[in-house]
């Protein structure tokens, strides 16, 4: 009887493996902008890195999770500021042919804002990311293509460099073009 249960379990796992696939989808970009005004140059670099992992069902449904980091650095003359974001949450997606549309609800998000030698931290963040893209198939287990991501995060606590944590009402919104890979197992 025990062997029959093991056999049924293995057959079930085997049929599940053919019904869909496990996926790991990193997306990244490096954006640079420069401006010179009256001899003073200002630069801005943006480096997002997103890692989505989940299960692609045999059909259009994708279920997984997203971990997203964003780093934005602005240098202007002798001053530098840097915003660093870290967010994560569950993802639900639709995929047809090579197109995809993913929605992620970020259950946790933190922002570290460095400026003038001090750091302010924004906490208790939440919000959503939405990504639309197209992947070119390079092999049965690898695809690559462009995606555009819309992000909206709201932070409700702020920890200044000195003093106690206080309530905050900071909303950050951006749109970022990215390059996406997809590894299928």
In a domain, 14, yes or no: no
Radius of gyration of the chain (CA): 21
Read off the CATH number of the domain in which 76 is found. 2.40.160
pLDDT of residue 129: 97
pLDDT digits (tens, 9 = 90+) for 69-117: 999 999 988 899 999 999 999 999 999 989 999 999 999 999 999 998 8
Which of these, 87, 142, 133, lies nearest to 112 by C-alpha position?
87
Which of these, 136, 113, 109, 133, lies nearest to 123 by C-alpha position?
109
CA distance 150 to 129: 6
Chain-centroid distance, C-alpha 55: 17
pLDDT of residue 38: 87
**Number of domains within the chain:** 1
Q: What is the mean pLDDT of each run of 10 residues along the chain (185 residues)?
A: 42 51 96 91 94 95 97 91 97 95 98 93 97 96 97 96 91 96 94
At 164, list the tokens. 């106690």
In a domain, 8, yes or no: no
DSSP state of 98: T
In a domain, 76, yes or no: yes
Residue 27 lies in domain: 21-184
In a domain, 12, yes or no: no
At 122, list the tokens. 């924004």
pLDDT of residue 14: 46
In a domain, 35, yes or no: yes
Beta-sheet pairing, 40-57 with 31-37: antiparallel
In a domain, 15, yes or no: no
pLDDT of residue 7: 39
In a domain, 13, yes or no: no
CA distance 180 to 154: 25
In a domain, 102, yes or no: yes
The residue behind tokens 């943006």 is: 46
């Amino acid at each position: 009887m025990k062997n029959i249960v093991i056999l049924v379990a293995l057959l079930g796992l085997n049929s599940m493996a053919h019904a869909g696939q496990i996926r790991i989808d990193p997306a990244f970009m490096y954006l640079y902008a420069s401006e010179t005004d009256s001899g003073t140059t200002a630069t801005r670099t943006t480096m997002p890195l997103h890692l989505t992992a989940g299960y692609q069902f045999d059909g259009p449904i994708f279920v997984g999770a997203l971990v997203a980091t964003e780093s934005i650095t602005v240098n202007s003359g002798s001053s530098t500021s840097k915003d660093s974001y870290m967010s994560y949450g569950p993802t639900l997606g639709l995929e047809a042919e090579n197109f995809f549309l993913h929605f992620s609800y970020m259950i946790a998000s933190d922002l570290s804002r460095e400026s003038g030698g001090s750091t302010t931290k924004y906490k208790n963040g939440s919000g959503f990311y939405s990504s639309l893209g197209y992947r070119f198939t390079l092999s049965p287990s690898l695809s690559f293509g462009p995606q555009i991501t819309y992000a909206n995060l709201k932070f409700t606590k702020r920890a200044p460099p000195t003093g106690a944590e206080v309530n905050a009402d900071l909303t950050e919104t951006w749109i970022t073009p990215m390059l996406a890979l997809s590894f299928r197992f």
